[in-house]
């Protein structure tokens, strides 16, 4: 690009197993000219950067990454198989035979493992098998050959396994990264050979290879839970074309097209039901295991499962913008939003590694020079110290936990946009709720029907007849209540609205009016008894309409935007977590008070959007605030809070502005999200304690000469694996507060029917 314009580019990088790997990829490219804004997502296997191709070509980026032993392919291309590993020819061991089609350098890294030998087909698997076989052969040679010959067998075993490690170490040194685990391994194993300890050197190389393999397996398990999300959407869809139905790619569906979804099929798109009534299992998307009834006009999500009858669904969102795609995109982007703790550890490790190397150098030279100690013994201890000092476990302690938490949240309908959000949510002390559409359903419902003359059914029939086809929410609520009761609307003619007062129509030749108490007052129909009844209902935050027949009151209907069924439980759960709650609403004080008193929550009423922002800013001066909302008017307040959470039914503006989202529209999921965040931070603290605790113990024992090289590498590898496995426990965490790790039989408790089904296949 001769004009020097920089553009954002993206690649998929395969072969990354830990935070150290991600740091190597970042270091490989960020020093190149014309490269900036480098972001490496470990679990998503993504490299994003802004590139000026007039200074550095994409091919040079790819060459730099490949030189470190990673595979790299542009976004949209097939993932590339990482190169490197054991240096003997492929096929030297039967278990390492490549799968059909291998050798092209490409593989579908996202494909599921096909059997127990899958790990053997990888470069790291071959390295383990090769070094293990050579080590076993060297030990066996002691029985049949001289000690000197066996000595050379151990040297050969060491060199064969160490060469690929050393190649990567020197490649990274040339790129300006001398302090890596590969360099420490090269120095330690090479030094052991120099001081005459080839047996330990060979064992260290083998254990290092095992550790690398275990890291890869652990990282793969974590990635599987994220990849499973994108596999929920079916590959094909049954598209209606005229009177015919033909099968097409789900990715090719366009907004406005109509698809047919048979019982048992997954819904291929986000859409609106055109015809048909069926229960739909939305657990793959929201975590809700109870099927949701879908009727004409209802919304369905891509990836949900049609359970009962054929549905015709009109596509409302393109494939790249459907719910599953947005979840996957949010999870991938969230991984890049690193937690403050993670950023601190990254900075710490940059200082820590040179410090460890310096300490090892002092251990090697000070005792012999200052106190006349044996050089061989103290060099050996210094080499062990180098291996113990590797910060891999510490570096991966945060991102492994964050990624597991993001995956668990996505499975349970809880989305958080990164580690920074998780860390902020864990520190929440106050939760501010919007009222309409968040604590309440967002539309009025009939709560009371009082009859003065005739029956309830007749009263509702007349009211529904007048309001039939109404656009006003109050009129729609009356019609919905009549339909729910199975009451037919009375046949009406000459219907008209009375602006600000109500509506009226002619039924059986008589004028029937559904209007406000003010209208009844104007028409002389509001008696003292009726006025008292209206006042009582309005004090409860309800809106009252009076049904008049020829200006004679027949009864009244009270409505209110009712709290969600779990709203009070959510407030109680938050209180149990030590979190205070407050409701912010633009509604009048009377209605706000009635809702708040029923939920046991503080409230502030009659707030404009800017007033909500002011209220949030006032709270944030002395508390850590999470704001929950759903509408466009909530977007500024969501942005002003420490953590903004959008209800899944909310507007796109709220969802984009928010730091997190609740897809199931359950208010109790607010407490679940905070539980997950707190569990994640506890897991991170455990990981840091494991990583630093083991290092502290073995640093002391190594300097004192109690532990040697092979224990050092085992401790380092063990810490990394322990940290990763501990982070993976979050995959089984239940944000609802149920038992979250293992059942009585020791097996993970599965969160949904989907997980139970997948466990049996």
Q: Which residues are catalytic?
A: 434
Q: Which residues pair with 46 in a beta bridge?
A: 12, 41
The residue to which tokens 């909530």 are assigned: 634
CA distances from 342 to 349, 415, 539, 638, 676 (A): 11, 20, 52, 25, 18
Q: Which residues pair with 707 in a beta bridge?
A: none
Measured in residues, the chain has a length of 761
Q: What is the DSSP letter of 15?
A: -
Spatial distance between the Cα atoms of 579 and 681, rounded to a whole number of angstroms:
17
Q: Cβ–Cβ contacts within 10 Å for residue 502, how many?
A: 23
Q: Strand order of the sheet with strand 445-451?
A: 445-451, 552-560, 543-549, 510-515, 502-507, 493-498
φ and ψ of 222, to 5 deg:
-65, -40
Strands (E), 155-297: 236-241, 244-249, 258-261, 271-275, 278-281, 292-294
φ and ψ of 507, to 5 deg:
-130, 120
H/E segment holding residue 688? helix 669-703
Q: Cβ–Cβ contacts within 10 Å for residue 344, how many?
A: 12
Q: Classify residue 574 by burial, with Cβ atoms within 10 Å: 0-12, 13-18, 19+.
A: buried
CA distances from 44 to 95, 404, 536 (A): 29, 12, 58
Q: Classify residue 620 by burial, with Cβ atoms within 10 Å: 0-12, 13-18, 19+.
A: middle
Tell which residue, 723, 637, 721, 744, has the closest CA to residue 398.
723
Q: Classify residue 231 by burial, with Cβ atoms within 10 Å: 0-12, 13-18, 19+.
A: middle
CA distances from 757 to 284, 404, 708, 750 (A): 11, 21, 48, 10
Spatial distance between the Cα atoms of 139 and 116, rounded to a whole number of angstroms:
28
CA end-to-end span of the chain: 51
Encode burial over 154-166: b for 16+ CB neighbours within 10 A, e otherwise.
Answer: bbebbbbbbebbb
Supply the angle between the helices 123-141 and 198-230 in degrees, to the nearest 10.
160
Q: 343 is written with which tokens?
A: 């950023």
337 neighbors 309 (Cβ within 8 angstroms) = no
H/E segment holding residue 614? helix 609-620
The residue to which tokens 């839970």 are assigned: 225
Q: Which residues pair with 748 in a beta bridge?
A: 742
């Amino acid at each position: 690009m001769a004009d020097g314009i920089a553009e954002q580019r993206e690649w998929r990088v395969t072969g990354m197993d830990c935070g150290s790997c991600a740091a190597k990829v970042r270091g490989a490219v960020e020093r190149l000219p014309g490269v900036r804004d480098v972001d490496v997502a470990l679990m998503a296997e993504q490299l994003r950067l802004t590139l000026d191709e007039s200074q550095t070509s994409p091919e040079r980026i790819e060459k730099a990454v490949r030189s470190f032993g990673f595979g790299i392919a542009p976004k949209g291309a097939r993932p590339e198989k990482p190169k490197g590993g054991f240096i003997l020819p492929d096929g030297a061991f039967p278990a390492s035979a490549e799968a059909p089609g291998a050798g092209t350098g490409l593989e579908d890294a996202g494909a599921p493992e096909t059997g127990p030998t899958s790990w053997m087909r990888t470069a790291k698997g071959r390295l383990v098998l090769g070094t293990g076989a050579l080590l076993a052969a060297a030990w066996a040679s002691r029985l049949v050959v001289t000690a000197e010959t066996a000595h050379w067998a151990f040297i050969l075993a060491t060199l064969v396994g160490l060469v690929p490690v050393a190649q990567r170490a020197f490649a990274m040194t040339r790129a300006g990264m001398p302090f890596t685990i590969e360099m420490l391994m090269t120095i330690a194993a090479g030094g052991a050979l120099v001081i005459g300890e080839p047996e330990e050197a060979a064992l260290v190389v083998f254990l290092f290879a095992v550790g690398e393999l275990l890291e890869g397996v652990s990282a793969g398990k974590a990635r599987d839970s994220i990849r499973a999300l994108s596999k929920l959407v079916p590959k094909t869809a049954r598209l209606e074309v005229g009177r015919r139905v033909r099968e097409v790619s789900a990715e090719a569906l366009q907004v406005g097209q109509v698809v047919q979804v048979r019982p048992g099929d997954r819904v291929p798109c986000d859409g609106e039901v055109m015809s048909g009534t069926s229960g739909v299992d939305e657990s793959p998307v929201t975590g809700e295991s109870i099927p949701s009834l879908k009727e004409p006009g209802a919304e369905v999500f891509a990836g949900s499962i049609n359970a009962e009858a054929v549905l015709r669904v009109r596509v409302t969102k393109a494939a790249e913008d459907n719910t599953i795609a947005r979840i996957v995109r949010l999870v991938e982007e969230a991984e890049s939003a690193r937690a403050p703790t993670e950023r601190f550890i990254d900075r710490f490790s940059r200082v820590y590694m040179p410090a460890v190397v310096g300490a090892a150098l002092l251990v090697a030279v000070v005792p012999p020079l200052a106190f006349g100690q044996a050089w061989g013994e103290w060099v050996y201890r210094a080499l062990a110290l180098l291996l113990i000092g590797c910060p891999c476990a510490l570096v991966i302690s945060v991102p492994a936990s964050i990624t597991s938490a993001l995956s668990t949240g996505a499975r349970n309908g809880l989305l958080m946009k990164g580690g920074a959000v998780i860390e902020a949510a864990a520190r929440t002390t106050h939760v501010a709720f919007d009222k309409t559409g968040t604590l309440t359903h967002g539309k009025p419902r009939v709560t009371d029907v009082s009859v003065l003359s005739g029956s309830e059914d007749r009263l509702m029939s007349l009211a529904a007849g007048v309001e039939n086809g109404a656009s006003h929410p109050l009129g729609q609520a009356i019609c919905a209540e009549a339909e729910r009761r199975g009451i037919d609307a009375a046949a009406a003619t000459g219907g008209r609205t009375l602006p600000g007062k109500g509506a009226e129509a002619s039924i059986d030749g008589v004028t029937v009016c559904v209007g406000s108490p003010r209208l009844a007052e104007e028409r002389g129909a509001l008696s003292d008894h009726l006025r008292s009844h209206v006042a009582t209902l309005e004090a409860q935050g309800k809106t009252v309409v009076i049904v008049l027949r020829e200006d004679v009151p027949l009864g009244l209907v009270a409505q209110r935007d009712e709290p969600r069924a779990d709203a009070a439980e959510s407030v109680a759960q938050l209180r149990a977590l030590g979190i205070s709650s407050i409701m912010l609403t633009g509604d009048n004080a009377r209605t706000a008070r009635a809702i708040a008193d029923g939920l046991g929550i503080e409230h502030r009423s009659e707030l404009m959007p800017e007033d909500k922002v002011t209220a949030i800013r006032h709270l944030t001066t002395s508390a850590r605030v999470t704001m929950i909302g759903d509408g466009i008017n909530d977007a500024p307040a969501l942005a002003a809070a420490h953590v903004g959470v959008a209800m899944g039914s909310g507007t796109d503006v709220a969802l984009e502005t928010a730091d997190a989202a609740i897809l199931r529209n359950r208010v109790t999921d607010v407490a679940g999200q905070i539980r997950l965040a707190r569990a994640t931070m506890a897991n991170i603290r455990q990981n840091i304690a494991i990583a630093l605790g083991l290092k502290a113990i073995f640093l002391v024992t190594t300097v004192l000469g109690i532990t040697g090289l092979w224990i050092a590498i085992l401790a380092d590898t063990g810490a990394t694996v322990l940290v990763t496995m501990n982070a993976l426990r979050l995959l089984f965490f239940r944000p609802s507060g149920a038992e979250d790790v293992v059942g009585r039989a020791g097996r993970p408790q599965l969160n949904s029917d989907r997980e139970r089904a997948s466990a049996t296949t």
